Amino acid sequence: MTKNRGKKLLSLFMASVISASMLTVVGGPVSQVNAEEGDKQVACLGTSDINEPEPGETDKSWTGSFVWYGTYNGKPVRYRVLDPKTSKFGGTTMFLDCDSILYKAKFDEDGIANEGAANPNEWAYSDVRTGLNGSAFLEKAESFTDSEKAAIAYSNIISHKLNAEGEVQVEDWTKDTFEDYVALEDDKVFLLDMEDISNNAYGYSVVDDLVEYRIKKSDSETDLGWWSRSAIKSLSNYVGGVFPYGAFTGGSVDKYYGVSPAFNVNLESVIFSSIIPETAGEKYADYKLTLLDGDITVAVQSGKKIEVNGDKVTVPYAISGANNTHATQISVLILDKDYQKANANDAEILYYGKLDVKGIFSTKKGEGTFEFPSELDKSKWGTDYQVYLLAEDVNGEKKSDYASEPVKLDIPEALVDYTVTVTNDGNGTAEASVEKGTEGTEVTLTATPKSGYQFKEWQVISGGVTINDNKFKIGNANVEIKAVFEPISFTVEPTPTPEVEPTPDITRDANDISPSNPVKVDEIEKTILSIKDEKDTAGSTFTLLKAK
């Protein structure tokens, strides 16, 4: 676009804004989430799955994802997601730009520079800035909940030269016509700069022409252009903007023009994003956010435990906080990593669902169940994945939801694996049928002694179990058992002393010679002897000398 063309468009712009009336966002009827059927479709933790926009094309509408956030005059408001995750404005935020013109306003009410400003077209001192951050928008009754307002970040960015070359470009005419990129200093709500409206990464382009993707509609029967915050160099009372049909233009600060707010949402306040059902499956879907409500807290009831029966998990919950009565459901969130604010570790959602509460839902204490996902190994709870509990305030389809900070649930005792360790005294080996198991698991012990030893007993070192017939059941602690062996004892029977048989009574005559009836030598010499072996009754052989 040439400067001359810009001046012509400027006059057209002025004509269009003078006759415009007060505007509101276009919106349809609001339908409630069916809590019984669980229509809420959680897409991702934080904004991690929301796509960046496509660069603008002349004959195409702005192409990117959208977020519904807050209301204006009672209707939900739709925003273009210029960047789902950025650190450009300080902190980690999502950059949103209103998809429509919400109302009309003068950049400066009287066309005279406000206190502190050199010119009336300076954003930092403008009346439109005051209105956006005050009663015209941010503080307008019922436009935002307290949590929505708290989630809108203070945006800060320094000024810099506009460039016709480089990563972020503007057209030569734009660079020559408008002042440097306009800084933001603790602005909650602001208007886009002409560089933003030229940025391919935001779904726009450098093209200064009648393009579809810059057009924004309003409830007014009269089409309006919309303000930027960029001052025009040569005219101290003129500010840049977008013509009703998408080309760049500008207007006098004291004339009415459309206001299309932009702001950043602090991602530390966004727990997850949910898809608006009618856009499910689309690359560029519509979303709503679940925001942190610091006045709702949830926990497992004191003195009670999570119970597991097969795949059915029962959770006794307790809700507290100033907004506990706002809760409409208790939800379970299973992540592949620990939960971190702004999803700093890129965790993925493995499961999301609400507790099935019998009877009337209690916003104080109650009990609910959920079916544990069959594809997950329950014994890996707390290691391969993490389970969280949160209390949610689920609202209309295009209205923000709110939730307590997710609370990590420790693995239930019924799923805790306790170790079984078996040792020995060195005189044999011993083992258990399992190395670990949950509470109630039956364990069989086996002991094998070394040669020369035999098993004596099992000693319970820790775990408090009772062993019967070499078996025990695991309790709620790790178990250590020691096998004790003892030497095999051999009983040596003494050799019995033989009984002495009485000396046999051997009948002999007077001439028998024996030790008990000795004879004198001289008698032997005079006597002819006969020698004869005899045996007594015990079988002993002895010699008898018998005189003849």
pLDDT digits (tens, 9 = 90+) for 198-224: 999 999 988 878 888 899 988 876 678
CA end-to-end span of the chain: 174
What is the 3 state secondary structure string of 397-440? Answer: CCCCEEECCCEECCCCHHHCCEEEEEEECCCEEEEECCCEECCC
Closest CA to 178 of 157, 163, 156, 158: 163
pLDDT at 16: 36
pLDDT digits (tens, 9 = 90+) for 444-497: 999 999 999 999 999 999 999 999 999 999 998 999 999 999 999 877 677 777
At 213, list the tokens: 């993707």
pLDDT band at 248 (very low <50, low <70, confident <90, very high): very high
d(CA 328, CA 393): 5
pLDDT at 5: 37
pLDDT digits (tens, 9 = 90+) for 279-292: 999 999 999 999 99
d(CA 76, CA 99): 12
Place of tokens 């040569």: 234
pLDDT at 32: 25
Residues 6+ apart with CB under 8 A from 62: 53, 56, 80, 99, 203, 204, 212, 213, 214
Largest alpha-carbon pair distance within the chain? Answer: 185
pLDDT at 390: 97
pLDDT at 491: 72
Mean pLDDT taken over the chain: 86
pLDDT at 440: 85
DSSP 474: -
Neighbours of 383 (CB within 10 A): 10
SS3 279: helix
d(CA 275, CA 67): 9
d(CA 296, CA 326): 8
At residue 254, does pLDDT exceed 80?
Answer: yes
d(CA 99, CA 68): 10
pLDDT at 168: 84
Neighbours of 47 (CB within 10 A): 25
SS3 209: coil
DSSP 464: -
Do 348 and 393 meet the contact criterion of CB atoms below 8 Å apart? no
pLDDT band at 34 (very low <50, low <70, confident <90, very high): very low
Distance of CA 250 to the CA centre of its chain: 48
pLDDT digits (tens, 9 = 90+) for 410-452: 988 888 889 999 999 999 999 999 999 888 899 999 999 999 9
pLDDT at 439: 83
Q: What are phi and psi of 328, to 5 degrees?
A: -115, -15
d(CA 306, CA 303): 10
d(CA 202, CA 466): 69
pLDDT band at 505 (very low <50, low <70, confident <90, very high): low
DSSP 206: S
At 451, list the tokens: 């040669």
Q: Using alpha carbons only, what angle is made at residue 331 by residues 326 and 334, rounded to the nearest 5 degrees? A: 150
DSSP 496: P
* Sign of the alpha-carbon torsion through 404, 405, 407, 408: positive
Do 184 and 155 meet the contact criterion of CB atoms below 8 Å apart? yes
Neighbours of 331 (CB within 10 A): 28
Do 444 and 469 meet the contact criterion of CB atoms below 8 Å apart? no
Place of tokens 């919400």: 102
Do 412 and 438 meet the contact criterion of CB atoms below 8 Å apart? no
d(CA 134, CA 146): 14
pLDDT at 4: 40
pLDDT at 207: 82
d(CA 471, CA 479): 13
pLDDT band at 37 (very low <50, low <70, confident <90, very high): very low
CA torsion 396-401-407-411 (nearest 10°) is: 40
Mode of pairing for the β-strands spanning 312-320 and 365-371: antiparallel
C-alpha count within 13 angstroms, C-beta hemisphere, residue 407: 20
Q: What are phi and psi of 531, to 5 degrees?
A: -105, 130
DSSP for 55-71, written as a single string = PP-TTS---S-EEEEEE
Do 181 and 169 meet the contact criterion of CB atoms below 8 Å apart? no
What is the 3 state secondary structure string of 250-262? Answer: EEECCCEEEECCE
At 355, list the tokens: 């507790």
pLDDT digits (tens, 9 = 90+) for 70-91: 999 999 999 999 999 999 999 9
pLDDT digits (tens, 9 = 90+) for 367-396: 999 999 999 998 899 999 999 999 999 998
CATH 2.60.40 fits 293-412, yes or no: yes
Mode of pairing for the β-strands spanning 418-424 and 436-437: antiparallel
pLDDT band at 510 (very low <50, low <70, confident <90, very high): low
d(CA 212, CA 149): 31
* Sign of the alpha-carbon torsion through 208, 209, 211, 215: positive
**42: β partners:** 274
pLDDT digits (tens, 9 = 90+) for 149-165: 999 999 999 999 998 77
At residue 68, does pLDDT exceed 80?
Answer: yes
At residue 25, does pLDDT exceed 70?
Answer: no
At residue 148, does pLDDT exceed 50?
Answer: yes
